[in-house]
Amino acid sequence: MRIDLVTIFPAYFDALELSLLGKARDRGLLDVRVHDLRDAAHDRHRTVDDTPAGGGAGMVMKPEPWGEMLDGILGAPDAGPDPLIIFPSPAGEVFTQRMARELAHESHLIFGCGRYEGPDQRIFDEYAERGRIRLVSIGDYVLNGGEVASIAMIEAIGRLLPGVVGNPESLVEESHEEDGLLEYPSYTKPAEWRGRAVPPVLLSGNHAAIAAWRREQSLERTRRVRPDLLPPEPGDGASDSPSMA
């Protein structure tokens, strides 16, 4: 997979040289290129922002540097056949494991990292007309820019690429995978630490009992901290609430 990143803080993406993703890059599974948006700003101060039309607080990113940078990436001879531009934004659709799985099938992603109030709307309009663009949020809170959100998404997507994670089975039994439940708790040796024992069933060698215990732990944890992930129980529907009677 090819990934281009456009940012005014390229150093954020040094983190993508570490760990599994760094190894995936060394092995040619992932081709990451970081572009400094200021390289496409040609005034003496390399200005990328300006005051909002109509007034108000904050600054808006000027369209010209974004246009030049994105045109350059999209028009390069080695661009993918149908690149997808992602603009991290708290105003976007919410990123999920399902979206990570979808995006892992793309051949070329371009992450546009906005700062301030984000890019001029005409950037979205221009590139939506010329190709594919999505605004994506990583959750209901506000970051200072798209860089950290991009790193989170790239890690979630990158680890799903074939060959990136050594043992593909370790991808399956995880929170949000397969059954949509949270992961069960994990233990290792020693069997007792500070008076706390590993649950005996895990040392029993009884694989069916272990699987049943893990399933129950997943369900209990999901009910407790993320009941929104569980399928609605019969009788939970709005149509059979008393107020609808």
Residues near ligand 6GU, by CB under 6 A: 88-90, 137-139, 141-143, 145-146, 149
Q: Say how far apart CA 33 and CA 73 lie, in whole Å.
A: 10
Identify which of residues 145 and 180 has a Cβ nearer to ligand 6GU in the complex. Answer: 145
Q: Which residues contact 156 (CB under 8 A, 6 or more apart)?
A: 95, 97, 100
Among residues 155 and 173, whose Cβ is nearest to ligand 6GU?
Answer: 155
Show the beta-strand stretches assigned E in the chain: 2-7, 31-36, 49-50, 60-61, 84-94, 108-112, 132-137, 192-193, 196-197
Helix (H) or strand (E) holding 233: none
Minimum CB–partner distance for residue 56 and ligand 6GU (Å): 18
Question: In this structure, are strands 132-137 and 196-197 parallel, antiparallel, or unpaired?
Answer: unpaired
Give the residue at shortest CB distance from ligand 6GU: 88
Q: Which is nearer to ligand 6GU, 29 or 143 (CB)?
A: 143
CB of 90 to ligand 6GU, least distance (A): 4
Question: Would you say 156 or 181 has its CB closer to ligand 6GU?
Answer: 156
Rounded to the nearest 5 percent, the helix, strand and coil shares of the chain are: 40, 20, 40
Least spacing, CB of residue 173 vs ligand 6GU, in Å: 27
- Find the shortest distance in angstroms from Cβ 139 to ligand 6GU: 5
